[in-house]
Chain A
Amino acid sequence: QVQLQESGPGLVKPSGTLSLTCAVSGDSISTDNWWSWVRQSPGKGLEWIGEISYNGVTKYKSSLKNRVTISMDKSKNHFSLTLNSVTAADTAVYFCVRVLTDFQGFPNWGQGTLVTVSS
């Protein structure tokens, strides 16, 4: 059973850096899948942020590309999200997601973690 768990600070100051980690169990991030981040602002819809492949290829939402980095640590079997220069608009629940290769879907989601941007 694949499980994902987000962790990181729940409060970030404006202009600061948001950093989250997703710990994966039940699967190796080195297997042929993608690993994604999705966020949801309070009361709003889902927003795809980006993803990283098992071999380190990254894709990002174009409007966030200048501020976001997704990376992976295979030794710890986790992947991470870094978002720079945050504003209140980045306040959201952040989900990490396992994405199966060959467009086989987004079957596994973490429970999500709320990050608030506030001074």
Chain B
Amino acid sequence: QTVVTQEPSLTVSPGGTVTLTCASSTGAITSGLHPNWFQQKPGQPPRALIHHIDNRHSWTPPRFSGSLLGGKAVLTLSGAQPEDEAEYYCLLYYGDAWVFGGGTRLTVL
């Protein structure tokens, strides 16, 4: 079965930059896996941040950016704010099914 791997936890200083990665057990992530990124805070549903690699939704702050790098999908947060402390999930498409990563707990401290 396909496994999507993310860092379990990361810490970033306020105003700092952090990179979250998403890796696929099937090999390098390409545009065909249509990576999405979501932010989830406790007690809330996930909020979509990025679709198809690097496309922000209208509500996504510009400090969030998506890319592909080194065979992984990457979410970069530049200029972290206290309100960015949350769980982040990537989502990949495998032809007839979507698979979520395990999530990264991001602490802003």
Contact = CB atoms under 8 A, between A and B. Distances in A.
A84 to B, nearest CB: 19
B103 A59 contact: no
A45 B57 contact: no
A109 B48 CA distance: 9
A69 to B, nearest CB: 16
Interface string B56-96: 01000000000000000000000000000000010101001
A105 B45 contact: no
Interface in A8-36: 36
B46 to A, nearest CB: 6
Which of A63, A95, A109, A110 has the largest number of chain B CB atoms within 10 A?
A109
A103 B89 contact: no
Contacts, number: 61
A106 B38 contact: yes
A63 B1 contact: yes
A62 B48 contact: no
A119 interface: no
Q: Is the interface of B mostly helix, strand, loop or mixed?
A: strand
Interface residues of B, number: 25
A104 B51 CA distance: 6
Interface string A57-91: 00111110000000000000000000000000000
B51 A45 contact: no
A100 B100 CA distance: 17
Given A103-B52, A106-B91, A109-B45, A45 B97 contact: no
28 contacts: A38-B46, A45-B101, A45-B102, A45-B103, A46-B38, A46-B46, A46-B89, A46-B100, A46-B103, A47-B100, A48-B98, A48-B99, A48-B100, A51-B98, A59-B97, A61-B97, A62-B1, A95-B46, A104-B52, A105-B36, A105-B50, A105-B52, A106-B38, A107-B48, A109-B45, A110-B45, A111-B45, A112-B45
Given A48-B99, A103-B34, 11 more contacts: A45-B101, A45-B102, A48-B91, A48-B97, A62-B1, A100-B51, A105-B52, A106-B36, A107-B48, A107-B57, A109-B47
